[in-house]
Amino acid sequence: MSLQLTDVTRRFSRQAALSGVSLEIQDGEFLALLGPSGSGKTTLLRILAGLDRPDAGSVTHQGKDFLQMPPRERKVGLVFQHYALFRHMSVMENIAFGLRVRPWRKRPSRKAVRERVQSLLQRVKLEGLGERYPMQLSGGQRQRVGLARALAVEPNLLLLDEPFGALDAQVRVSLRRWLRELHDELKLTTIFVTHDQEEALELSDRVALMNNGRIEQVDTPAELYQHPATPFVCEFIGRVNRIPLKLEHGRPLSGEWRLPQPAWSNGLHEAIAYVRPEQLSIGTCGSKPMWNAKLRHIYLAGSVAHLNLHVESMDLTLEADLASEELHERGLQPGMELGVLPRAAVLFPLRNGAGEPVAEARWEWREPGGVFPALVAQR
């Protein structure tokens, strides 16, 4: 079910919820709509579900106007964050609801409905719970009922509006992996709304990152993380160090860190570099041209150690990541003096006077050879 969205716009009073959104959703794709609250994710989902209409723009499916189709003809299944189950109905009745409210000419027989519900209960791992009521189930089980109800109508397009937002962390992890397996098994086209970047990056084939009613970047999770297109993407996806740079005759520099001259226009004086924690090389204090940094804190998170470093000469605090095993091999301890320097970065010049990054002038830099030589830290 390939969908083509072109310049979709939706306003509420003076506020633009969507501003010219264009997006192509491929048949069988798992697409995440990711972004902060108020970025337009749910508004876009509601338009696809037929619960709202855009003020401008179009949505087409195989050349046909998708927006002119009545909601029940779009073959869409919708799952809400807070389940939206009928509390006075049993699990079986909730799942069968979409089939039983069809026009009588298209309504399956009672036997067919019962067989379909039993099949779905087995698929969502709720066998034997069909006679229970929603209040007798856990949160994870209720969310599975909501998903089974959406699947009962055999949708071509499955829409999920933050379906795991009301669940605890452990249940979320198990359910989202199960959901991805279900998507692959049923070969659905799935659109998943979330503000949780970990969910989006783990589940999706592609992620559309939204901000203020616009799409900042659409890409695979790996590309979105490794090659962010705008400053917003750099800061929203994952953790990142924000390093100010001066431009000396057009060449970016910050203390001992000097870069080749990018193809930027003359007259710019400052830039900003975004560096991931794992893109920082850590070596011996005073070795090579490196920043001298003091190791303030070490936060162990299982197999990864997060290092908090302070570069006094620039009054700059940095975060670096190391494997916990490497941390112990080097004998790193808080209070040590280390050498630090990026080995990769995404850079944007700043508009003179405004201090705003120029997204169109993005420049990506990587250290020739990929990494610095391994250096052993000393006390």
Q: Would the pLDDT of 259 be above 70? A: yes
Q: Would the pLDDT of 298 be above 50? A: yes
Domain limits, the chain: 3-231, 239-366
Angle between the N-to-C axes of helices 110-123 and 91-100, in degrees from 0 to 180, rounded to the nearest 10: 130
pLDDT, position 10? 96
Q: Would the pLDDT of 373 be above 80? A: no
Task: Kindly report, residue by residue over 51-95, the tens digit of the pLDDT.
Answer: 999 999 999 988 889 999 988 888 898 888 777 889 999 999 999
pLDDT, position 354? 66
Is residue 225 exposed (0-12), middle (13-18) or buried (19+ Cβ within 10 Å)?
A: middle
Which numeric CATH code is attached to 239-366?
A: 2.40.50.100
Which element (helix H / strand E) includes 32?
strand 30-34
Distance of CA 63 to the CA centre of its chain: 29
- Biggest alpha carbon distance in the chain? 81
Please name every residue paired with 271 in a beta bridge, in sequence order, or none if there are none: 245, 349
Q: Would the pLDDT of 379 be above 60? A: no
pLDDT, position 1? 55
Quick one: average pLDDT of 152-178?
A: 81
Measuring CA to CA, which residue among 289, 281, 297, 277 is closest to residue 313?
A: 289
Cα→Cα distances 261→247, 279, 354, Å: 9, 20, 22
pLDDT, position 287? 60
Quick one: average pLDDT of 227-239?
A: 95
CATH 3.40.50.300 fits 3-231, yes or no: yes
Q: Do domains 3-231 and 239-366 have the same CATH topology?
A: no
Measuring CA to CA, which residue among 227, 230, 163 is closest to residue 199?
A: 163
Please name every residue paired with 348 in a beta bridge, in sequence order, or none if there are none: 272
DSSP assignment letter at 268: -
Task: Kindly report, residue by residue over 14-35, the tens digit of the pLDDT.
Answer: 889 999 999 999 999 999 999 9
pLDDT, position 100? 87
pLDDT, position 166? 64
* Cβ contact 241:310 at 8 Å: no
Task: Kindly report, residue by residue over 325-364, the tens digit of the pLDDT.
Answer: 999 999 999 999 999 999 999 999 998 766 788 888 999 9
The model's confidence at residue 378, banded by pLDDT at 50, 70 and 90, is very low
The model's confidence at residue 374, banded by pLDDT at 50, 70 and 90, is very low
Task: Kindly report, residue by residue over 138-150, the tens digit of the pLDDT.
Answer: 888 888 898 889 8
pLDDT, position 372? 39
pLDDT, position 371? 42
Angle between the N-to-C axes of helices 139-152 and 91-100, in degrees from 0 to 180, rounded to the nearest 10: 20
Quick one: average pLDDT of 241-259?
A: 90
Q: Would the pLDDT of 227 be above 90? A: yes
The model's confidence at residue 377, banded by pLDDT at 50, 70 and 90, is very low
The model's confidence at residue 286, banded by pLDDT at 50, 70 and 90, is low
